[in-house]
Amino acid sequence: MKKIAIIGATGSIGRQAIDVIERYPDAFCVTMISAHSDKDGLISLANRLKVPTVCYTGESSLDITDFNYPCTLLCGENALVDGAESADYDIFLNAVVGLPALRPTMVAIKKGARIALSNKEMLVSAGEYVMAVARKLKSEIIPVDSEHSAIFQCLSAGKREDVDKLIITSSGGAFRDIPLAMLDDLSPERALNHPNWNMGKKITIDCATMVNKGFEVIEASRLFDIDIQSIETVIHRESIVHSMVRFKDGAVVAQLSEPDMRLPIQYAFTYPERLPSPVKPLTVPCDLSFRAVDFERYPCFKIMLEAGALGGLYPAAMLAADSVLVPAYLSGQIKYSQMPIVMSEVLASFSLKGMYDIDDVLRINAEVEKYTHRVVKNLCRI
């Protein structure tokens, strides 16, 4: 029986993970869960699954009498770190959005648990640091993000030294077919209409700008220890090929499936074994198309690649800038075409090369957020 801790249990990935786990009550059990705002969701999950450690990081508090069984309840800012330290688990699923996942996941790495990693922000902002610690401690980090899970699976077809290139696929987001001349002033409603996946607003805009793909290229570079220049991105409308690896003999190995996150989540739990999953079997042959990325259409993606190649805290700075720019675009404060302008400005305004630790990441994140707010405010005045 594998014991699984899930931080971010009330979110989209967290709930899909629980769906996977509940199908195999003899193979998995949940020993820790967390939520940030969804109190009722947390209480009902805990009472249904009888989770021994329950963490709540939101502002108000929970009461132990909310639970119909004996459990350890941790509330407040340090609940995730305290939970990660005290709970009993073999696998730690990081399904929290943003940087609050950084410290608790480092605790889980140091405890020797397998990390099932869905959260993107951790490897984007602190990938070099996190992977250096993980490699030193020989800790297992199994990706959940579909592209990285695909690459992880493809890599088992050969030796690491024989890898020539990683090929990451992208749906191209909601703006992939809009004429370039119309892109300048397109509404958030259009960007929110993602062609293949149904996700939250922030990530859907990040798909339209391909900032999300920039994050994923940086994540892949850190996770698989490969240069940004050796990672190619291709537009693949159908989201069936989740990514590929080209080996030095020219063989390209791909992983295909219907787009359903429960497959990579389950694989991160069962690896190296496989179990039947609820994912609809893929009917082969199906129509598949691939085309090159047009950087003119996706200027933010190009900036993300530059930040990734610069390394240090540049990706953390881009993450912080993006977290301000997306809400500013959604609320109509800035135009779509202003997002890359601000991102370039952030990239040019900070000097962020060199070694860093988690405290540096959090400091830069706060500084760049503040700076970006100021730039957005100035743009609004023009």
For Mg ion, the binding residues (CB under 5 A) are 145-147
Considering only 19, 23, 29, 38, the residue that binds ligand NDP (CB under 6 A) is 38
- DSSP for 315-352, written as a single string: HHHHHHHHHHHHHHHHTTSS-TTHHHHHHHHHHHH---
Residues numbered 180-199 forming contacts with ligand NDP, rule: CB under 6 A: 199
Helix, strand, or coil (residue 284): coil
Residue 121's binding partner among ligand NDP, Mg ion, none (Cβ under 5 to 8 angstroms by kind) is: ligand NDP
Q: How far apart are CA 106 and CA 116, in angstroms?
A: 13
Give the nearer residue to Mg ion in terms of CB position, either 203 or 226: 203
Question: Per rule CB under 6 A, is residue 105 in the interface with ligand NDP?
Answer: no
Give the nearer residue to ligand NDP in terms of CB position, either 141 or 261: 261
Residue 14's binding partner among Mg ion, ligand NDP, none (Cβ under 5 to 8 angstroms by kind) is: ligand NDP
Question: Per rule CB under 6 A, is residue 83 in the interface with ligand NDP?
Answer: no
Give the nearer residue to Mg ion in terms of CB position, either 141 or 375: 141
Q: How far apart are CA 322 and CA 256, in angstroms?
A: 30
State the residue for tokens 């059990």: 29
End-to-end CA distance of the chain: 60
Considering only 75, 155, 157, 203, the residue that binds ligand NDP (CB under 6 A) is 203
Residue whose beta carbon is closest to ligand NDP: 11
Locate 21 and state its tokens: 């786990």
Question: Per rule CB under 6 A, is residue 118 in the interface with ligand NDP?
Answer: yes
* Residues, the chain: 382
Sheet holding 163-170, edge to edge: 252-256, 241-247, 163-170, 231-235, 291-292
Q: How far apart are CA 57 and CA 50, in angstroms?
A: 19
Give the nearer residue to ligand NDP in terms of CB position, either 212 or 338: 212
Considering only 96, 167, 174, 241, the residue that binds ligand NDP (CB under 6 A) is 96
10 Å Cβ neighbour count for 108? 27
Q: How far is the CB of 163 from ligand NDP (least distance, A)?
A: 23
Residue 209's binding partner among Mg ion, ligand NDP, none (Cβ under 5 to 8 angstroms by kind) is: none
Q: How far apart are CA 312 and CA 19, in angstroms?
A: 37
Considering only 17, 35, 191, 207, the residue that binds ligand NDP (CB under 6 A) is 35
Locate 192 and state its tokens: 């929110």
Residue 332's binding partner among Mg ion, ligand NDP, none (Cβ under 5 to 8 angstroms by kind) is: none
Question: Per rule CB under 6 A, is residue 11 in the interface with ligand NDP?
Answer: yes
| Cβ atoms of residues 318 and 307 within 8 Å | yes
Sheet holding 114-117, edge to edge: 72-75, 53-56, 28-35, 2-7, 91-94, 114-117, 141-143
DSSP label of 282: P
Give the nearer residue to Mg ion in terms of CB position, either 82 or 145: 145
Q: Supply φ then ψ for residue 247, to 5 degrees.
A: -95, 170
Write the binding mask 44 to 63 for ligand NDP: x where contact by CB under 6 A, - elsewhere: -------------x------
Size of the site for ligand NDP (CB under 6 A): 26
Among 301, 100, 156, which residue's Cα sits nearest to residue 216?
301
Question: Per rule CB under 6 A, is residue 8 in the interface with ligand NDP?
Answer: yes
Question: Per rule CB under 6 A, is residue 263 in the interface with ligand NDP?
Answer: no
Question: Per rule CB under 6 A, is residue 145 in the interface with ligand NDP?
Answer: yes
Q: How far is the CB of 21 from ligand NDP (least distance, A)?
A: 15
- Which residues of the shown chain bind ligand NDP in the complex (CB under 6 A)? 8-14, 35-38, 57, 95-98, 100, 118-121, 145, 199-200, 203, 261
